[in-house]
Each structure stands twice: as structure tokens, then as C-alpha cells.
């Protein structure tokens, strides 16, 4: 065991001692100016030490040239992700059984079923009216 420890220390010491000084030229003349965000996308690059490499990217421009469109899209994506995570994790941590949830969703009498149907139609009509008002207000 002691021989293994000595060998490991000698190997790591030689690896740490095997360093080469690298020349890094000043970057004053290599400075690129900052560019404003012009869209939403990604870039990827893979390279090796001898100068060979592959770069690629995908960019979606901002069609309205607005600074609010991209944060709204990102925010909606994060909200969707949060909703998906909660939808998946909620049944894992809830203590209700499957029969309890089925009983809560099923109306007890035909009158309850009719009332639930009327309420759903009322909500659907309100949503459609709001969409039509919005469309008529902002239609060119």
C-alpha cells in the first residue's frame, strides 16, 4: 500500500511539474465592440489545439424589432416548463387516491351534470366574446 501511495504521489508530482509557459498576446487590438441583442438563438463550437474546429449557430431575428418580444417568449417558455414540472410532480407528493379524484370530478346527479355543462358553456362564451372584442379593437 505504501508503494502505491509513493507511486501515485510521484506520478502526480511529475504531472504538475510538466508545465509549459504559454504566450498570450495583449488583447487590446483584438477587442470586438459589444453588439446589441438582435434575436434569440444559440451558437456552438468544437475545436482542437491544432487550430481545427467547427462552429455553428442558429439565430431567430426579432421580426418587430422590439425589445419586449424576446423576453416575453423566454418568460412564456419558463412558465410552460414550470407548469409541466408541477404537473408531473404534484401527483407524486399528493396523498389522494385515484378513486378520490374520480369521485370529485364526476357529478353526483343529472342536475349537477347539467349545471356543470351550463357553467362550462358560459365560460366558453365569455372567452370567445373577449377574443372577438380584442380582435375588433386591434384589427387593421
Q: Where does the chain have alpha helices with state H?
A: 2-17, 69-93, 98-105, 110-138
**pLDDT reported for residue 95:** 74
Tens place of pLDDT for every residue, the chain, 140 residues? 788 888 888 877 766 666 666 666 666 555 566 665 566 677 777 777 777 778 777 776 656 666 777 788 889 999 999 999 999 888 888 776 665 555 556 767 888 888 889 999 999 999 999 999 988 888 76
Distance (Å, whole) CA 41 – CA 46 = 17
Amino acid at each position: 500500500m505504501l508503494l502505491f501511495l509513493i507511486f501515485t504521489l510521484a506520478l502526480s508530482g511529475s504531472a504538475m511539474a510538466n508545465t509549459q509557459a504559454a504566450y498570450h498576446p495583449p488583447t487590446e487590438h483584438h477587442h470586438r465592440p459589444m453588439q446589441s441583442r438582435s434575436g434569440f438563438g444559440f451558437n456552438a463550437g468544437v475545436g482542437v489545439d491544432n487550430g481545427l474546429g467547427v462552429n455553428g449557430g442558429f439565430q431567430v431575428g426579432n421580426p418587430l424589432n422590439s425589445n419586449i418580444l424576446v423576453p416575453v417568449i423566454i418568460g412564456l417558455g419558463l412558465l410552460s416548463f414550470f407548469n409541466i414540472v408541477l404537473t408531473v410532480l404534484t401527483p407524486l407528493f399528493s396523498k389522494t387516491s385515484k378513486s378520490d379524484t374520480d369521485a370529485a370530478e364526476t357529478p353526483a346527479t343529472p342536475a349537477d351534470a347539467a349545471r356543470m355543462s351550463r357553467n362550462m358553456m358560459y365560460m366558453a362564451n365569455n372567452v370567445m366574446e373577449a377574443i372577438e372584442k380584442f380582435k375588433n379593437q386591434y384589427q387593421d
